[in-house]
Amino acid sequence: MVLLLCVSFNLLQAQEELQLTEKDSIVKSSWMFGLGYNIVDDSGDVFHELFSFGKQWNTLAYPSRISIGRYFKSGIGVEAIGSYNKYKVGKFIDGRTNLEETDYYGLDARLTYDLNKLIGETGWFDPYIGVGAGYTEANNESRATYNAVVGFRTWFSDRIGLDFSSSGKWAANNDNATNHLQHAAGVVYQFGIEKGLSKKGEAKLALIEEMAEKRQKEQDSIASVQREKEQAALAARLAKEREEASLAAAEKAKVDAEKKRELNIKREIDALGLAYFDLNSSYLNTKSKKVLDGLALVLQKHIELELKISSYTDSRGTSKYNNWLSERRVNRTKEYLVKKGVDVSRLQTEAYGETHLLNECDDNTYCEEEKHQENRRSEFLITKF
């Protein structure tokens, strides 16, 4: 068991160390925009004095080349390039010293291939080769050209990089036009990017998945060892849950029974009705005494029961008088119950005067006597069962 745990821990630790990062992903396809410089070598001596900048290279002090291209997951790229330059006086052009400044225009299309597809992908260095065709106006001669290019790009981020290339341009349809070299250097910006894993990233992902599978097998072995113990624990837990459920059911039955008992007591008291009083009287009439006799029997049957007695008047008379009258009514109601054997500690009282009318019969509304009678009452509220 300890050995399995150790192996599992080591696999987990190794997997945590092997995490895919941003370095494991590369740009698979994108659009690319470029802006930079172009250098034209039209000396006519092919590769002789290839780097004779002062004598043979023609360039401008400002950006003179623009490009746009689409690059695909296969490594193929399609580009359109426009360039402008000047053949300057004193430069070596087509085997002789140039005596007149002339303009150079180039419009080219080319198909390139990313050599990383052959030599291994990197996230920062992209060498490429390509072929293409174009139209060039140079040394006062226009010509269609066949082109070949070698170059590389180096990236500072997924979007920004530098592009360096050299192209050979061969005249296709003008015997007077010369072949020449055109070099380029500039900044490139990628957009519309689609990313994916590099070959190293794919290998890392495969290793992570392999280690995860091994760790799962180790965990399955540990789970198999633990299964019998867990089943025993489960059986014990289910037994405890059954016992707790039984106790809960018994408790619920007890609570339900108590609620039913309280509801029955409340129904008994509600069935008795209220104790009503005659106009301007606090004395209990025969009908009210009958209500209180029944209430006393309920209180004697349920000795734990406690009540609040609330007495009221109708709206006739002054408020001060009605407050005094309701006090007398509530006291007479309590005294009657005490005489019937109810302990006074089980009774609370409250007098409300005319403040809680049961109908519309206030000082501004005319009502028949029967309606006023509804408000002259003592009510009974259970405060403790």
DSSP-derived secondary structure for 90-156: TSEETTEE--S-EEEEEEEEEEEEETHHHH---SSEEEEEEEEEEEEEETTEEEEEEEEEEEEEEES
Mind listing the pLDDT tens digit for each residue in 67-104? 999 999 999 999 999 999 999 999 988 888 999 999 99
Would you call 9 helix, strand, or coil by DSSP? helix
What pLDDT was estimated at residue 3? 59
Mind listing the pLDDT tens digit for each residue in 316-340? 999 999 999 999 999 999 999 999 9
Mind listing the pLDDT tens digit for each residue in 49-73? 677 777 899 999 999 999 999 999 9
Global pTM value? 0.51
Mind listing the pLDDT tens digit for each residue in 222-247? 888 889 899 999 999 999 999 999 99
Which residues contact residue 123 at a Cβ distance below 8 angstroms, ignoring those fewer than 6 apart? 23, 25, 26, 155, 198
What pLDDT was estimated at residue 9? 54
Neighbours of 47 (CB within 10 A): 8
What pLDDT was estimated at residue 6? 58
Does 173 score more than 90 pLDDT?
no
Q: Quote the DSSP letter at residue 24.
A: G
Mean pLDDT value across residues 357-368 = 95
CA-to-CA separations, 188 to 32, 38, 80, in angstroms, rounded: 7, 14, 14
**pLDDT class of 2 with cuts at 50, 70, 90:** low
% of the chain residues with pLDDT over 70: 93
